[in-house]
Amino acid sequence: MSDDIVVLHKRAEVIMDTIYPTLRNYPKYEHGRLCNTLLNTCMELISLLGLAEHVKPKRLNYLQEAQSKLFFLKTLLDLSVGQQFISIEFHKGLFRSISTLNKGMIDILINRKGR
Mean pLDDT by 10 residues, the chain (115 residues): 85 94 88 90 96 92 96 96 93 95 92 59
Neighbours of 19 (CB within 10 A): 22
- pTM of the model as a whole: 0.89
Give the pLDDT confidence score for residue 32 in this predicted structure: 80
pLDDT at 114: 38
Tally Cβ neighbours within 10 Å of residue 98. Answer: 19
Gyration radius of the chain's alpha carbons? 15
DSSP for 60-90 reads HHHHHHHHHHHHHHHHHHHHHHHTTSS-HHH
**Contact yes or no for 13/27 (Cβ under 8 A):** no
How many residues are there in the chain? 115
CATH architecture of 2-113: Up-down Bundle (1.20)
Each domain of the chain, given as residue ranges in start order, spans 2-113
**pLDDT at residue number 95:** 95
